[in-house]
Chain A
Amino acid sequence: EAEVAQSPRYKITEKSQAVAFWCDPISGHATLYWYRQILGQGPELLVQFQDESVVDDSQLPKDRFSAERLKGVDSTLKIQPAELGDSAMYLCASSLDTFYGYTFGSGTRLTVV
């Protein structure tokens, strides 16, 4: 069964440092999403890509977060500088169409100390 790959699984970083997460969606899935999930809460959308274009980044804190999907395949989410409040699970998902639901990766658990 096809999977969404994410790395790393766990990341510990000091505040004010830079950190990056990588996501490889299911082959052929044009839509890619990055979600942030704070402990005890549901996932919240950070950014949505359609191929290489950003469709929605209204909830992305653009002063410190950036996301790219240069060739419309894999994607990178970056935080610089990291803050204590950024500690969360960062989930990547992809889909052919909302009609089919999303397939999620296993996530990256970020801890900022």
Chain B
Amino acid sequence: AQSVTQLDSQVPVFEEAPVELRCNYSSSVSVYLFWYVQYPNQGLQLLLKYLSGSTLVKGINGFEAEFNKSQTSFHLRKPSVHISDTAEYFCAVSVRNNDMRFGAGTRLTVKP
């Protein structure tokens, strides 16, 4: 079965600095990869997804992620963060028509 490991539980960063949130996955078959964001007491909102094709995926709010098959990674990046990006970020993996498996989450805290 597929699984996801988010390598950092917390990432503090100053406003306007770049950030990278790391995600590794494990699967014996081709997968779909996703990043979601969750604000306090809210559901999860889709940031971006990789299904196939170009390995660089652009999402909402200026985020992008790069799929690296050889390293089984799908790291999320943003060149300049804002205070409003403070939230919990979840990496997820899915095989077609099966359930989505989530990582434990990375708490991004943007400081002024």
Contacts A42-B90, A101-B34, A101-B49 hold; do A91 and B44 have CB atoms under 8 A apart? Answer: yes
Chain B interface size band reads 20 to 34
In the complex, the answer to whether B102 meets A44 with C-beta atoms within 8 Å is yes
Contact residues in B for A43 (Cβ distance below 8 Å): 44, 90, 102
Contact A104 B98 (CB under 8 A): no
> Residues of B contacting A93 with CB < 8 Å?
43-44
**Chain A: interface residue total (CB-CB under 8 A):** 25
Instruction: Flag if A33 contacts B42 (CB, 8 Å).
Output: no
Quick one: closest B residue to A10, CB to CB? Answer: B41
Kindly count the residue-residue contacts between A and B in the assembled complex, taking CB atoms under 8 Å apart.
60
Q: Which residues on the A side are within 8 Å of B92 (C-beta)?
A: 42
Which of A6, A42, A48, A56 meets B102, CB within 8 Å? A42
Q: Do B99 and A101 have beta carbons less than 8 Å apart?
A: no
CB distance from A3 to the nearest CB of B (A): 9
With known contacts A42-B90, A98-B32, A109–B41 Cβ distance under 8 A: yes
CB closest residue in chain A, given B44: A104
B94 interfacial by beta-carbon distance below 8 Å: yes
Q: Which residues of A contact B99 (CB under 8 A)?
A: 33, 45, 48, 56
Q: How far is the CB of A96 from chain B (nearest CB, A)?
A: 11
Q: Which residues of A contact B (CB under 8 A)?
A: 4, 6, 33, 40-45, 48, 56, 89, 91, 93, 97-99, 101-107, 109
